[in-house]
Each structure stands twice: as structure tokens, then as C-alpha cells.
């Protein structure tokens, strides 16, 4: 199995968070991704790849000293044969290393040069440090994750790092590769987590500007304000989720809960939502999660149990779709999405820094004599 990106060569300048996630997505779809790790990671006594770094899967690692002139030249030789380069440093770092987009595009005008930052390549915040929580806060997203009367709750680092960052960078890279088929030219893709997080809020912006979404968290249709779009605790201390928005789904929910003949307020009467939520809370506490699954799962109620990661991997639907795989003893999500004619390759374990330096550079056109010379100069490890 080769995947739809077979034949696309990617240089990943190793980083953390959204950059590796983007590279993982490309590798999951069959791209030949060569991760450039710092040579000092091999020379030190520190462990190579931490066991949980599954976003480093499915690609090879070459250890190159980017502070050594011959190390920089080594990367530029790779650039000549690459389709894509990705980096996740603060603005200006790659330029100071001698690997900025102007230099790389001069060596290979067809190169798509992907830049992953929190704040973007310009603007007053561009060179400030930050993390997912800061980017989604400034993007106007974090303020809207929370229940009524409570402080905002960060949704892990899904919205900034991975949703607004890694996925948008991968999307931009693929768009630039498609455009290159027409123009024959590469370009720079500036992916900023603050931009991507704001983009993810587009639908909510539309609702807000047409009066369909309040700025007060926990009072709206999709932010736990509605009783029919909510998480409820069951008698065994577990949880279930409801998303019965459409009238026909809500009607089926009431029927399956035995409430169809009860004189309840109208579904969309917002003033009655707290009353209806209290009624649902009491009802769902009368049975266990598994008992509610037997009543509601697989129906048009729009229902699912709230599962932990191990529970999700063991669920019959996930097992039927092979949504999780085990690689080198570590369970993890399978590559997504899926393709009918060019199925995704199975993931391979994360590489240790420098594990494939010789083999990868040979495959990218370096001679054994040149490798020996680079190693003697300590430009590679």
C-alpha cells in the first residue's frame, strides 16, 4: 500500500506539536517524509524519541547539524530533490540558519515551503512565544468553550495546534502542490495557528452576526445551552452525549425516553432549556451508561456514549472500521481519511533521531564517499 501521496518528497525540519502532526498526515498518505533531527540529539545521552511521540510515526530520520556550514549545504542538496519543506520555528530562525525560503527556492523553484507558527510570519505578535491556549484565546475561540457561569475550558490542544495548525498547513501544502501543476512554480505557505483557529469559528461567526449565537457561553444551541445538545451523567458515574437538534430526531428522543405524552415546553423555547435540562439530568441518572446504550445507540436520536481513549478503540464500530491500529505494541488512531484506489500505508514506529541518516541520504542521491566526508566533519550524525 503506497497511498495517494506516493512519490511526493517532503523535508521536515523537526519541531514540536503541529509541525510533526502535519508531517505525520503527509506520511500517513504515502509521502516520503524525511525528518531532519538535530545532530546533538544523537550525540547526547538523552533518549531519542519518547514513547508517546506517535506524531513522529511513518517517516525516516536523518541527524544533521544545522549550525555547521556543511550541514546546511546538506539540507540544501536535499531541497534540490524535494517537493515540500516544512518548518516550525519562530520567524527569522530559518533565515539565520541559511535555510530561509529565498535561499531554498533559489535552489529549487518548484519547492513548496511550509511555515508553521502560532502568530504568523508578521504582525506585532509574530516573534512572541506562545502555545495553543494563547493562540485560540486571541483568535476569539477559547472564550466560547465553557459552561454558563464558568471560566473558559481549553479543549486540549485540538483547536490551535492540530485543527488550526497542522491540518491547515497540510491543506495549504497540498493546495500549493496542485497549483504548481499549472504554474510549475513553488511558493511559501504561511500557516498560523491563530489564523486557523479563527477560520474554524466561521460558522459561529455567521450565527453570531445573525443573532443565532450569544456571546455568553453555555447559553447557545451548540455550547451546552440546549438540553438536547448536551452531556449527561448516568447512574454509574459515566456519561452519554445527545445531539437531537432536528425536530424529527428530538421527537424520537422523547419517544424513546418515554416523554412523548408529557406536557413539556417546546424544544426551541430557550427560556425553558434549564427546566428541560434538569428533567433530562434526573432521568439519565436512573440507568447506567450501558443501559442507555441499549435504548438509544444506533437510533436517529443522535446519541453516543462518552468513551475514554481505550474504550473508543474497543468499541464495535471502531473495530469494524479498523479505526485504531497497533504498531510496535502501541495502540494509535489509524491514518485518515481513506481512499478507495490508493489505500493508506500502515503506520511505522517513530524513528530515533538519526536512525536512517545513511540510508535516507543515499536514497536522496548522496554518495557513500560524501557521507563519510560529512560524518568526519561532524556535519551529520
Could you report the per-residue pLDDT of 84-102, keeping only the tens digit for each? Answer: 999 999 999 999 999 999 9
| Cβ-defined contacts of 236-239 (< 8 Å, 24+) | 236/288, 236/289, 236/290, 238/288, 238/289, 238/305, 238/306, 239/289, 239/305, 239/306
- Per the model's pLDDT, the better-predicted residue between 41 and 12 turns out to be 12
Answer yes or no: is pLDDT of 49 > 80.
Answer: no
Alpha helices in the chain (DSSP H): 18-28, 39-43, 69-79, 93-97, 101-107, 132-138, 168-183, 193-200, 202-209, 247-256, 273-284, 289-296, 309-314, 316-321, 357-363, 368-376
Q: Tell me the CATH class for 229-233+239-305.
A: alpha beta
Per-domain boundaries in the chain: 9-200+324-376, 229-233+239-305
- pLDDT confidence band for 209 (50 / 70 / 90): very high
CATH number of 9-200+324-376: 3.40.50.10540
By annotation, the residues acting in catalysis are 131, 161
Length of the chain: 381
Give the pLDDT confidence score for residue 45 in this predicted structure: 45
Amino acid at each position: 500500500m503506497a497511498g495517494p501521496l506516493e512519490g511526493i518528497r517532503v523535508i521536515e525540519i523537526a519541531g514540536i506539536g503541529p509541525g510533526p502532526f502535519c508531517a505525520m498526515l503527509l506520511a500517513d498518505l504515502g509521502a516520503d517524509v524525511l525528518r531532519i533531527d538535530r545532530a546533538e540529539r544523537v550525540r547526547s545521552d538523552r533518549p531519542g524519541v519518547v514513547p508517546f511521540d506517535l506524531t513522529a510515526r511513518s517517516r525516516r530520520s536523518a541527524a544533521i547539524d544545522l549550525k555547521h556550514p556543511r550541514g546546511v549545504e546538506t539540507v540544501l542538496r536535499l531541497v534540490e530533490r524535494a517537493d515540500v519543506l516544512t518548518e516550525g520555528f519562530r520567524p527569522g530562525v530559518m533565515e539565520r540558519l541559511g535555510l530561509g525560503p529565498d535561499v531554498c527556492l533559489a535552489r529549487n523553484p518548484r519547492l513548496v515551503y511550509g511555515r508553521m507558527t502560532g502568530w504568523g510570519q508578521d504582525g506585532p505578535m509574530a516573534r512572541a512565544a506562545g502555545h495553543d491556549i494563547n493562540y485560540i484565546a486571541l483568535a476569539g475561540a477559547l472564550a466560547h468553550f465553557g459552561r454558563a457561569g464558568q471560566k473558559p475550558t481549553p479543549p486540549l490542544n485540538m483547536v490551535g495546534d492540530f485543527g488550526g495548525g497542522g491540518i491547515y498547513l497540510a491543506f495549504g501544502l497540498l493546495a500549493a502542490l496542485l497549483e504548481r501543476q499549472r504554474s510549475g512554480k513553488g511558493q511559501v505557505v504561511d500557516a498560523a495557528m491563530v489564523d486557523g483557529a479563527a477560520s474554524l469559528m466561521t460558522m459561529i461567526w455567521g450565527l453570531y452576526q445573525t443573532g443565532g449565537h450569544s456571546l455568553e457561553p453555555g447559553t447557545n444551541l451548540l455550547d451546552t445551552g440546549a438540553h438536547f445538545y448536551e452531556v449527561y451523567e448516568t447512574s454509574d458515574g459515566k456519561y452519554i452525549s445527545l445531539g437531537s437538534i432536528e425536530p424529527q430526531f428530538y421527537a424520537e428522543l422523547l419517544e424513546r425516553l418515554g416523554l412523548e405524552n408529557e406536557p413539556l415546553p417546546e424544544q426551541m423555547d430557550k427560556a425553558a432549556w434549564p427546566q428541560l435540562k434538569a428533567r433530562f439530568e434526573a432521568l439519565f441518572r436512573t440507568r447506567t451508561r450501558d443501559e442507555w446504550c441499549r435504548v438509544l445507540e444506533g437510533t436517529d436520536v443522535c446519541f453516543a456514549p462518552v468513551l475514554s481513549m481505550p474504550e473508543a478503540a474497543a468499541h464495535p464500530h471502531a473495530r469494524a472500521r479498523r479505526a485504531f491500529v497497533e504498531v510496535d505494541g502501541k495502540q494509535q488512531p489509524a491514518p485518515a481519511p481513506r481512499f478507495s484506489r490508493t489505500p493508506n500505508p500502515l503506520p511505522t514506529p517513530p524513528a530515533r533521531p538519526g536512525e536512517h541518516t545513511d540510508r535516507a541520504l543515499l536514497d536522496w542521491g548522496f554518495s557513500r564517499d560524501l557521507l563519510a566526508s560529512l560524518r568526519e566533519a561532524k556535519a551529520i550524525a
